[in-house]
A and B are shown apart, each in its own frame.
Chain A
Amino acid sequence: MKGTFLYQVWQHNRKLCYILTAFTMLTVCGNLLGDEVTPFFVWGMYSEKEKPVQQYEILKTTINDSTVVNVYDYYTTDTRFYLYSPLAYYKKIEDNNNVDPTVSFLQSKLHQHYDKIDFLERSFSNTGPQQQAFLDWYARYLQQVTNIPVHSLRMEVIKAHYTDQNLVTDTVHLFATWEKP
């Protein structure tokens, strides 16, 4: 016991020991509950059982009807992240009847108690105006990253499946367009 880390911290500085113990306890609680509250992280990456998928979706953006945005042309993963993830979330909102999936998730978990956090809804969800402003933002950000003046955008969804050897495209359909006002 006397050789343990926390005991030695306790001997040195009780306040520091309380802080470290509280951090440890909250992190353990978060993990037991499976809920992440920053900075008490849950490191459950890739632990969820993956369900077999018939078709995978890939998002493709074309600038000015000529330049396809290939996120892999950008060497940093953060750039790729910002080019791909917000667009994917925008599509998720569209696919969810224009309701933020976080709202649907919370409503399914809380049922009638959802009303109690209703006043916070603007803090955790995207509403119509944000959704409408998204493509304007995406055009601005693409211009920032690509240095190409963006006049129009075409966003397509590619549906593809895997064979034993490769990825094969099944369908391509347009899901959003944007023109410079």
Chain B
Amino acid sequence: MGKTVAHISFYTPWERKRIARIVFALLLGALVWSFFSNTLLHQLQKPVIKFPYVDPTYWIMHYLGIPELITGNFVMACTFDTALFASCILSFMYPEKRLYCWSFIILYFIYFITFNTFGTHHTNHKIGFLFIAIPFTVADYKSFNFLWQGLRYFLLFAYADAFLWKLFRLSWLHPDQGLLIMKKNVAAFLYFEPNTLQAGLYRWSLQHPAWVNGAYLVGMLLEGLFIVGFFTRKFDHYLFILSILLPVGFYLMADANFFEFLILNLTLINFHKLFVRAQ
């Protein structure tokens, strides 16, 4: 891993507390968003079809009957959701109390698995919500800083890995790869929303496939740029902007939601400067 850590000035316990408040406020906002999305566990109406696929973690969860137990009983599901909100609020109010952070992580892990399995697709974008809380589970501020940096590497890895998969699978050489991805993912949108501006953009793209295929290649190269972050922190503010642009591209080109992963962008921010300016 990069030599960049030598240049890190560690966040102080005071700064850690403020970062925790920002993180848990965002997490609380995400939970409220889930409420309005009708995807909290008590709102799932006792789902029946599951999708553990070939992920042993999901198999274990279903073997233990945890997703079924919680969603199968309305009172249990309400209790679970209340506990999830409470752990998040308490972590926001008392960031130094690690028990609340641990509680949130365990509960959010169960929520993550249950949401994905009954949604019948393993979405990864919510993993940022789970991982971002981990650094706050340690007592000493130095370990917190190392875990926070570890999360930064995790973010860099996710994008760099996406680049490497495309590179080695040679999908960038595949004719019309970008266009075919778009066609597959926006068919329902064009059917249900044919008169919108976005549908107009897709129809224009069908007539100009070079732009869509070019956008796929540009997106791939932008993902590759995250490798730079392993060696230097100098370009973190550019990577921050890129990691906002890429989910916008995924959304427009493939109707894919990757916005929740943005929470890991916090690891690219220099909070020293931010807090000094705020003071």
Instruction: Name the distance in Å between A146's Cβ and chain B's nearest Cβ.
Output: 10
The CA-CA distance from A130 to B68 in the complex, in Å, is: 12
Q: Tell me whether B29 is interfacial, beta carbon within 8 Å.
A: no
Q: Which of these, B43, B54, B193, contacts A72 with CB under 8 Å? A: B193
Q: Tell me whether A3 is interfacial, beta carbon within 8 Å.
A: yes
Across the interface, do A76 and B36 meet the contact criterion of CB distance under 8 Å? yes
**Chain A interface category by residue count:** 35 or more
Instruction: Name the distance in Å between A107's Cβ and chain B's nearest Cβ.
Output: 12
Given A5-B153, A58-B188, A47 and B166 contact (CB-CB distance below 8 Å): yes
With a cutoff of 8 Å between Cβ atoms, the chain B residues found around residue A22 in the complex are: none
The CA-CA distance from A166 to B202 in the complex, in Å, is: 8
Given A44-B162, A50-B174, A162 and B48 contact (CB-CB distance below 8 Å): no
Across the interface, do B38 and A58 meet the contact criterion of CB distance under 8 Å? no
The CA-CA distance from A105 to B47 in the complex, in Å, is: 23
Given A77-B257, A123-B63, A86 and B191 contact (CB-CB distance below 8 Å): no
For the residues of B in contact with A, the DSSP-based class is helix
Chain B, residue nearest A4 (CB): B1
Q: Tell me whether A171 is interfacial, beta carbon within 8 Å.
A: no
The 8 A CB mask of B2-14 against A (1 = contact, 0 = none) is: 1111100000000
With a cutoff of 8 Å between Cβ atoms, the chain A residues found around residue B62 in the complex are: 122-124
Across the interface, do B184 and A53 meet the contact criterion of CB distance under 8 Å? yes
Q: Tell me whether A56 is interfacial, beta carbon within 8 Å.
A: yes
Across the interface, do A76 and B59 meet the contact criterion of CB distance under 8 Å? no
Across the interface, do A44 and B187 meet the contact criterion of CB distance under 8 Å? no
With a cutoff of 8 Å between Cβ atoms, the chain A residues found around residue B207 in the complex are: 164-165
Across the interface, do B54 and A43 meet the contact criterion of CB distance under 8 Å? no
Which residue numbers of B lie inside 8 Å of A, CB to CB? 1-6, 33-34, 36-39, 43-60, 62-63, 112-113, 115, 118-124, 127, 130-131, 138, 142-143, 146-147, 149-150, 153, 157-159, 161-162, 165-166, 169-171, 174, 176-177, 180-181, 183-184, 187-194, 203, 206-207, 216, 254, 256-257
